[in-house]
Structure 1
């Protein structure tokens, strides 16, 4: 895999991950749609609506929405989620399918918006027991992006002072007590999903647990 993917390749990966998630969602029943996700207070259906909103709102509309919410980002997200949620889970899924190939996004690098799909897909899959691992080609640029800076998630702060190494791909960074695991598990922990610490090994895992718990 090339160390640096083009913007086109990153969007192609995002589209593939959206399509895979839509396929996973197709067989859900009403109870599963109402299942609590790993994403705070949101249910599975609400996370899907959030993903639809993220692929539908460009910079100008995003700015207007944030200003309208007086920089209350929870309120901003809830309003856009409600806008893109359907009257039924089937309609919510249909709306999501319509944006599978979208390249609409707000500010920031494309890696951030690929990460939006990768992380939220696992926010949905893990509680539902759906086992699917995104491709290394999709997850590695997200892991590298999260490790470099605190942007949409506090990735760099989470792994500060640790040596982090993937066991299934080229991602590795930092110095300090070792933490190893799959690229996906490392990415999810950098995104603040502490449950994925269970999938990691090494003397630095306890530090990650503490940081995720206090986030």
Structure 2
């Protein structure tokens, strides 16, 4: 069952606040650690989250036009606008934007993808354990599996595989089985490197091999 818009926003707002709390005590060098998102460090991903939190339908179209319809360039421009010289100022900006309900003209499930995947982009390199509501992970994963890679999803990465969430028993697709925690399936499908030992089954090595350096989350509006 898909969550209502109100439930999605409650989850997104809570995840923004939780991430801000997790990052409150970072050392200066930790902000420069490479994230799971190829080419971005921890501070870059934080600035991206501020940018997407503040991006509505009109500003999304404006930013895309300014980037000459290049989603990656639009993302980089957003980071440049919202990345303060002091990472703590960027963190404060996320706190201020945490309860906004702005969104590009895309499926609202992309907000869950943003919150969860980018949360792990930041947390895993820092050794911070992330805990996300299982319904949010399931809905985000279902969306990514329906969406082509060219639009920020991961449909092609899971082609010919049956993904099984060992936490909930939910399953998607047909083919060689891959069983893992839902969060690891979501990350792999979204183009993140996941340690192969987290994935079990005949299709595990194939899913793991598709992930490094690939495009990432949500309907072309996000990296």
Question: Shared fold by TM > 0.5?
Answer: yes
What whole-Å deviation, never above 9, does each CA across 1:122-178 have from its counterpart, x for those lacking one? 000111111122121221110111122226533211111111100101421111110
Higher relative contact order (CA 8 A, sep 6+): 2
2 CA distance for matches of 1:33 and 1:9? 31
Q: Is the contact made by 2:42 and 2:122 (CA closer than 8 Å) also made in structure 1?
A: yes
Q: 1:5 aligns with which of 3, 6, 14?
A: 3
**Cα 1:196/1:12, change in 2 over 3 Å:** farther
Aligned residues: 213
Select between 78-87 and 121-130 the one with higher mean Cα deviation: 78-87
Q: Is the contact made by 1:144 and 1:171 (CA closer than 8 Å) also made in structure 2?
A: no
2 CA distance for matches of 1:78 and 1:146? 22
Q: Quote the residue 1:86 is aligned against.
A: 84
Q: Is the contact made by 1:166 and 1:172 (CA closer than 8 Å) also made in structure 2?
A: yes
What whole-Å deviation, never above 9, does each CA across 1:88-122 have from its counterpart, x for those lacking one? 11101000111111110102111111111100010
Q: Is the contact made by 1:37 and 1:43 (CA closer than 8 Å) also made in structure 2?
A: yes
1:122 aligns with 2:120: yes
Q: Is the contact made by 1:166 and 1:186 (CA closer than 8 Å) also made in structure 2?
A: yes
Displacement of 1:213: 4.1
Displacement of 1:44: 0.6
**Cα 1:72/1:149, change in 2 over 3 Å:** closer
What CA RMSD, in Å, does the superposition of the two structures yield over aligned residues?
1.5
Q: Quote the residue 2:152 is aligned against.
A: 153
What whole-Å deviation, never above 9, does each CA across 1:21-66 have from its counterpart, x for those lacking one? 1111101110111111111111111100100000101121111111
TM-score w.r.t. structure 1 length? 0.93
TM-score w.r.t. structure 2 length? 0.90
Q: Is the contact made by 1:143 and 1:171 (CA closer than 8 Å) also made in structure 2?
A: no
Q: Quote the residue 1:171 is aligned against.
A: 170
Runs of 4+ in 1 over 4 A off after TM superposition: none
1:136 aligns with 2:96: no
2 CA distance for matches of 1:101 and 1:64? 23
Select between 159-168 and 65-74 the one with higher mean Cα deviation: 65-74
